[in-house]
Amino acid sequence: MNYELTYGCIGEHLPHSFSREIHGQIGGYAYELKELTPEELPAFMAARSFRGINVTIPYKQAVIPFLDEIDETARAIGAVNTVVNRNGKLYGFNTDLDGLTRLIRRIGLDLSGKKVLIPGTGGTSRTAAFAAEKLGAREIRKISRTGRNGSLTYEEALRDHADAEIILNTTPCGMYPEPDAQPLPLEPFHRLEGVADVIYNPLRTRLVREALSRGIPAEGGLYMLVAQAVRASEHFLDTVYPDGLTDRIYERILRQKENIVLIGMPGSGKSAVGRILAGKTGRPLADTDQLVTEKAGKPIPDIFRENGEPAFRDLESEIIRELSKQGGQIISTGGGAVLRPENVNVLRQNGRLFWLDRDPEALVPTDDRPLADTAEKMKQLYRDREPIYRAAADEIIPVTGTPENAADNIESR
């Protein structure tokens, strides 16, 4: 095996990591992703053929025996996510603590005097428990499937700790490629004040989306990932970066990874605006109506006539679920896509929803739109759907000029 590596990240499974892109915007150095099996880890660490590495699941504790020195904070936590090689000696640090603490503060959570539940018992859960203690939590309880080492089982957490005020998820439950998973339901937690989830792919896990739907402050782990990467790079290069670098890189990465989702009435210009945005940004364009037609092997009016609207909606939902797992796209949806709340929910996991709001008087009916093939149907459809579009939209884009104007408006948001 080739152990040569200047800077990079080691872990068992890294195909969907954002770390290379983030470090590419920090320090101007080559940064690689290196997947290692548990059997390969000892030889890699013994070779010491790197200058600096980040360490992710499942090796944040496994690397510790190979280190010559461990930072006081990392030692107290019992987990290392950054290793620096200085003249052949390996030094271990925990920059996850800085990242998670900054995420908690970004969300606006006050942990002082609060009961905190932490799903997970691995290296990141140790960091979360340490952060919660430093931020003044009254009670900190970890949760695991087995309840070993003093942790709660999930059943015990739901039964006996429904008064928890903060949840810090450190499990991979809900991570791509299984974004439908959720470590625990939030309905029982009647005093919940906030949720932080270390998962960053998808951008908003099902856990985060449920919290937000209940009006509870919540955010995924992208900001934490960027903040810890900036701190790790400072260790790599023995430097200090200016204030604001984390925020600037976070905003840039978020814009790159987040889908632009176009919603709105038939004839509001979604397809045209989508094509323009795809051309301007270089992002792939996915048109859900077109994909439904291709998958069904027939035009949408034929689907309605031969199979009925429910069959069309089922096929549309299936396509939206698959599209929503990936980021960095332009997604142009059918006019009725947001009628199903589950479609809005999954579109939000990696997307920002833009409602192209065109005056109903300017909407032109066509024969290929079964529900809007006359002017009167179109106006009634707008009246029925306007509150649904408004509730689903993250941004409202009035469509009064050209599609180019609408596309520029979206790009500027």
pLDDT tier, 1 (very low <50, low <70, confident <90, very high otherwise): low
Residues 17-69 have pLDDT tens digits of: 999 999 999 988 999 999 999 999 999 999 999 999 999 989 999 999 999 99
Please report the pLDDT score of residue 376 as a whole number: 81
3 pLDDT more than 80: no
Residue 153 to residues 121, 145, 240, 278, 285, Cα–Cα distance (Å): 11, 5, 42, 47, 44
Mean pLDDT of the chain: 95
Measured in degrees and rounded to the nearest 5, phi and psi for residue 39 equal -70, -25
Give whole-number Cα distances, 387 to 86, 98, 264, 378, 383, in Å. Answer: 60, 42, 11, 15, 8
In which order are the strands placed within the sheet that holds 351-358? 285-287, 330-332, 259-263, 351-358, 395-399
Q: H or E stretch including 406?
A: helix 403-412
pLDDT tens across 86-96, in order?
A: 999 999 999 99
Q: How many residues does the chain have?
A: 413
Residue 82 has pLDDT above 70, yes or no: yes
- List C-alpha distances in Å: 160 to 132, 133, 164, 185: 20, 21, 10, 14
Min mean pLDDT across 26-35, 248-257, 269-278 is at 26-35
**pLDDT-derived band at 118, boundaries 50, 70, 90:** very high
What pTM was computed for the model? 0.94
Smallest CA-to-CA distance from 155 within 119, 113, 204 is with: 119
pLDDT at 385 over 90: yes
In this prediction, residue 368 has a pLDDT band, given cuts at 50, 70 and 90, of low
DSSP assignment letter at 152 = B
Locate 299 and state its tokens: 């035009």
Mean pLDDT of 177-195: 96
Residue 296 corresponds to which tokens in the numbers above? 């069904």
What does the CA dihedral 390, 391, 395, 401 come to, rounded to 10 degrees? -10
- Opening angle at CA 242, ends 236 and 245, nearest 5: 85
Query: Is the alpha carbon torsion for 34, 39, 41, 43 positive or negative?
Result: negative
CATH topology of domain 258-412: Rossmann fold (3.40.50)
Tokens representing 192 are 């919940």
Catalytic residue positions, numbered: 60
Across residues 164-177, what is the average pLDDT? 96
* Residue where the block lists tokens 């974004």: 179
Strand partners, 195: 167, 218
| DSSP conformational letter for 360 | G
Kindly tell me if the per-residue pLDDT of 97 is higher than 70.
Answer: yes
- For residues 119, 124, 129, 132, the Cα torsion angle rounded to the nearest 10 degrees is -100
Please tell me the CATH code under which domain 98-220 is placed: 3.40.50.720
Among 375, 320, 372, CA closest to 344: 320
The structural domains of the chain, with segments of one domain joined by +, span 7-94+225-247, 98-220, 258-412
pLDDT tens track for 310-335:
999 999 999 999 999 999 999 999 99
Which CATH fold would you assign to the domain 7-94+225-247?
A: Rossmann fold (3.40.50)
Q: How many helices (H) and strands (E) does the chain have?
A: 16, 16
SS3 category, 370: coil
pLDDT tens digits, one per residue of 124-163: 999 999 999 999 999 999 999 999 889 999 999 999 999 9
User: Is the pLDDT confidence value at 232 over 90?
Assistant: yes
Which residues does residue 219 pair with via DSSP β-bridges, in sequence order? Answer: 196
For residue 9, the cross-strand partners are 33, 54
